[in-house]
Amino acid sequence: MQFTVLGSGAGLPSKKRHTQSYVLDSVDEINQYIMIDAGEALQHRILHTGIKPSKVRNIFITHLHGDHIYGLPGFLSSRAHQGGEDVPLTVYGPRGLAQWLEVTFEISGSRLNYPLEIIEITHGECIEMDGFKVHVHLLDHNIDSFLYVFDENDKKGALDPEKLKRIGLEPGPAYARIKNAETFEFNGETYHTADFTGPDITGRKIAVHGDTRVITTPEYMSLLDGSDLIVHEGTYLDGEREKAHRYFHSEITDVLENFKSINYGSLLITHLSNRYEDGFLDELEAKLPSNVYITHDFFEHPISRNSQGNK
């Protein structure tokens, strides 16, 4: 599983940073990509990757500001001509998303050749999809903006072939049947599969924020605790805490201070103002903890338990 930042900039795009779009690559786990936000020029960003639009089956929109949604109609339309025919897609997002897309498609005369479902989400709900439970939490922004926490389902532990060999059962097709059953029979005896498997594999937890001020409520902190990856905005990176608060955004020092009370694997800082030069960002990142990363367009981060990504 891997997290890719297609656009890392805030508000206005720059020559080096496009606006917000992320992809959670879960092809190895559930044979699909999960997209979070769809900033302007999303189609062009994807052309520079190996991502197949037809394998994007679920899109999660954090909020309806333009830098997070202006690439969505174009992506949905082009997907229809990039292997997406008859391949269903679901888009989740705040109230108003369905109306905006419906009007956009109607006025532009756009037609899709695949089933599209638009689901408007609310604070506190839990969405169940292939391989994940997705928790929805309202953030603190000047319009409704949401955090999505992707909780990967736990998996059964691997079969222990040595234990199976001890009862005389050699490797073969029977192993697959045994793993998917609670009990199995061999040589007239009934066995419990759990006695021949390792411990369950705990699913990973990925928390992706929309735009927000720093939040300190117990409910929010509990939801983030134990995340293997947190993605959080850092529109302000140079100590302007009051300005960040005034404009409903976050300053990196406040974010880091807030997360000291929870356990997490890695933290990606994104949604960066285009006023920050590369030199400043390099100096800042050198001072950060080793599990905190200032992202850029096409930043890739493998996700595993207590993951440490590549800068």
As annotated, the residues of the chain forming the CATH 3.60.15.10 domain(s) are 2-155+201-302
Task: Tell me the one-letter amino acid at 302.
Answer: P
**Predicted TM-score (pTM) of this structure:** 0.91
Check residue 83 and give its pLDDT. 87
CA atoms within 13 A on the CB side of 22: 29
Share of the chain above pLDDT 90, in %: 88
Both tokens of 120, joined, read: 């408007």
Q: Give the fold, CATH level 3, of 2-155+201-302.
A: Metallo-beta-lactamase; Chain A (3.60.15)
Active-site hit among 25, 28, 37, 67: 67
Q: In a 3-state reduction of DSSP, which class is residue 40?
A: coil
Give residue-wise pLDDT tens across range 264-307: 999 999 999 999 999 999 999 999 999 999 999 999 999 986 54
Does the annotation mark 25 as catalytic? no
Give residue-wise pLDDT tens across range 151-181: 999 988 889 999 999 999 999 999 989 988 9
Give residue-wise pLDDT tens across range 233-256: 999 999 899 999 999 999 999 999
Q: Is 209 annotated as a binding residue?
A: no
Q: How many other C-beta atoms lie within 10 A of the C-beta of residue 99?
A: 11
Q: Is 81 annotated as a binding residue?
A: no
Give me the residues paired with residue 292 across strands. Answer: 267
Q: In whole angstroms, give the CA distance from residue 113 to residue 200.
A: 40
CA atoms within 13 A on the CB side of 138: 10
Q: Is 192 annotated as a binding residue?
A: no
Check residue 53 and give its pLDDT. 96
Give residue-wise pLDDT tens across range 19-39: 999 999 999 999 999 999 999
**107 Cβ neighbours under 8 A, 6+ residues apart:** none
Q: In whole angstroms, give the CA distance from residue 101 to residue 98.
A: 5
